[in-house]
Amino acid sequence: MSNTVCKNCSQRFEGAFCNYCGQDARVKRIDRTYIVDEVTNNLFQLNRGLFFTIKELTVRPGNSIKGYLEGKRKQYVKPLSYVLLTSALYVLTTHFLGLNTFFQDFTAGFTSGVTDEGDSVAAGILNILTWLTNNHTYTVLLTLPLFSAASYLAFKKSRYNYFEHLILNMYITGQQMLIYLLASFAVVEDSITEAIPSLLGIAFSFWAFYQFFGNYRPFVRILLSILTYILFFLQLIVLMVIGTVLVKL
């Protein structure tokens, strides 16, 4: 390769790797192959970029993720590694401090809303939610593809494919874990303030979407972000009902 422009630092170089930042010259678009490689080869690659990744996702989440998709990847922790690391940190911290995770608070709220004990569908959904609550990491990994499908459908006219939406939401979810962790320390145990971490997490995703999908008009970005959550919860409800019916059969 000769006279190549590095997608990470924009310097010109010759060879297979950038002479300035060390990034591989062969930066490809995010697709199925990238996701497979992410899982099999880079799951625990945390040797660099953790604090840089946290800072960038805090200050400019949408723009930094967009830059990652466009090739500026050298300084960042891999997205799957990031979401698993922050998720594990969140779960361990809440466990040792005796705090509830946001999944536990959500399930508790649903339980209080189920007044008809004879409602088998509601009871089945509650059992599924209980399992999800007790298996936080699995829940994150199971819901990420669903949420990514929702954002992909909502922002269908954007130039990003499903796998790029998956990367986008891995980083957003990873940062949300840190938000939940920090917010949980300041929350008093009552029905109103317990919702604060979840609301902050949703607000963060709206902000990230707002920056990331800058080609849409501002009001449209907000509406499509709302639509993303609606589609996501519809998917969850349908899957939980189907799961309940299958268990009973």
The whole-number pLDDT of residue 152 equals 97
Buried residues in 96-126 as b, exposed as e (16+ CB within 10 A): eeebbbbbbbbbeeeeeeeeeeeeeebebbb
The whole-number pLDDT of residue 142 equals 84
Name the range with the highest mean pLDDT among 45-49, 98-102, 167-171: 167-171
Q: How far is CA 72 from CA 67, 75, 221, in A?
A: 5, 8, 24
The whole-number pLDDT of residue 1 equals 43
The whole-number pLDDT of residue 37 equals 72
Whole-angstrom distance, CA of residue 83 vs CA of residue 89:
10
CB 169 within 8 A of CB 148: yes
Domain ranges in the chain?
1-28, 31-248
* Mean pLDDT along residues 44-62: 83
Q: What is the mean pLDDT of the chain?
A: 81
The owner of tokens 């799957």 is 80
What DSSP state is assigned to residue 19?
T
Whole-angstrom distance, CA of residue 213 vs CA of residue 206:
10
User: Alpha helices of the chain — where are they, by DSSP H?
Assistant: 32-41, 50-59, 61-70, 79-97, 102-113, 120-134, 136-154, 162-185, 196-212, 218-248
Whole-angstrom distance, CA of residue 99 vs CA of residue 208:
27
- Which is more confidently placed, 107 or 175? 175
Has residue 108 got a pLDDT over 50?
Answer: yes
pLDDT for 12-49, tens place per residue?
888 888 888 888 887 878 888 877 776 666 555 555 68
